[in-house]
Amino acid sequence: MESSAGIQRLASADRASAPSVVLLRRFLDLPNHLAAAISIVVVFALISLAIAAVYGAPLLIPRERVSAALGVSAVLPVSIAIALYVALRLCKVAAGTDRASDPPLLQAVAVDLTLMVLFLVATYFHFSLKTWVQVINPSLYDDVYFAVDRDLQPVLELFNWIRSSFFTLVPSVDRWYQAAFLLMFISGFCSLAITRSPIYPRFCIAVLLTMCLGALSYLVAPALGPFIYEDGLNLDATAAQAGMLQAHEKVVQHGMAWIAEAGPGYFTGALAAMPSLHITHAAVMTYFIHRARSPLVGVFLVICFWVTIESVASRWHYLIDLPAGLVLAAIVVWLANRICQPKPSGRWTSSLQIAKI
């Protein structure tokens, strides 16, 4: 009797709920942890906008024909990701391999497209904040980090030996540092999205956290990179570093005014070495691909090793940037697992269970 009366009271409370409460419940009911993904990006965007307001930083409309860091248009990897996703989705539909537990096709596509948009928004504010870092915190710790490289010279020489002895056998080896990293994200996202792996939400949340927390971590103890002292073994990287350093000098001279005027043309060209987010991203994605028991795990391990060696041999990063990137990766993995852990069944949380992807 009391239990029945309690249920009736809860039902009445539901009907009398304020519209804001109803909207909140529907928000928390979004599939694939979209509520968490949206919340992460919104909070990061608000933090970035607050920083922009305090420091008078401009919000830019990117107009790069060729990204200084990537060596190609920044639109290209986005286009490749969309094309691969569409191709894999069509192949799955044609093969008729959907499982009974898979969500309806339109819902799955809507979730995936929403996540793609969230990635783009987070990327926009990531590079915006990275551009402003040079003005917000002009203190640079390159001398300190380079001294560590000198103290660990045998390790640096080992990295260079591995790069010179083995990776030079790869065709167009200088172009693979950025390309291999992008390949990890595109193939990881598309494969987990199409197969609807239970790890898919964690992978996406972790990537978003890396982009958001990574950009903010650049503010702590910034540095430009060891290339300001010596050239690396990657000729393409050396050329890109020279152009990015020239832009940095303009920012130092003219501050936010120069960023507002010329920034759209070098939106992805700001320098930031500490921590190495390439290492963070590579470690995080490899971890979740391993958790998903994906056949891609072998490729990811090779690329992760490649990115580690090349990041130092190309002189994008100091040796100390690597453990800093791994620490951030550990934080991101912990947070993603906490956010996406299975929820106890019950009102408000039952639809957020990973089993209901």
**Amino acid identity for residue 66 in this structure:** V
- What is the rounded distance in angstroms from the CA atom of residue 176 to the CA atom of residue 335? 30
- What is the rounded distance in angstroms from the CA atom of residue 100 to the CA atom of residue 31? 17
Give the residue from 266, 264, 206, 221 showing the smallest Cα distance to 242: 266
pLDDT of residue 28: 57
**Amino acid identity for residue 122 in this structure:** A
Q: Collapsing DSSP states into helix, strand and coil, what is residue 296?
A: coil
pLDDT of residue 29: 61
pTM metric for this prediction: 0.84
Residues 232, 313 contacting (CB under 8 angstroms): yes
- What is the rounded distance in angstroms from the CA atom of residue 124 to the CA atom of residue 74? 11
Rounded (10°) CA dihedral 99, 103, 106, 108: -100
Q: Would you say the C-alpha torsion 354, 121, 239, 243 has a positive or negative sign? A: negative
Q: Which residue has the tokens 């906490």?
A: 338
- What is the rounded distance in angstroms from the CA atom of residue 308 to the CA atom of residue 304? 6
pLDDT of residue 285: 94
Taking the chain (357 residues) in consecutive chunks of 10 residues, what is each chunk's mean pLDDT? 46 54 60 84 95 91 74 75 84 74 77 90 92 90 95 94 81 77 88 88 94 94 93 87 88 88 82 91 94 92 91 93 96 93 48 37
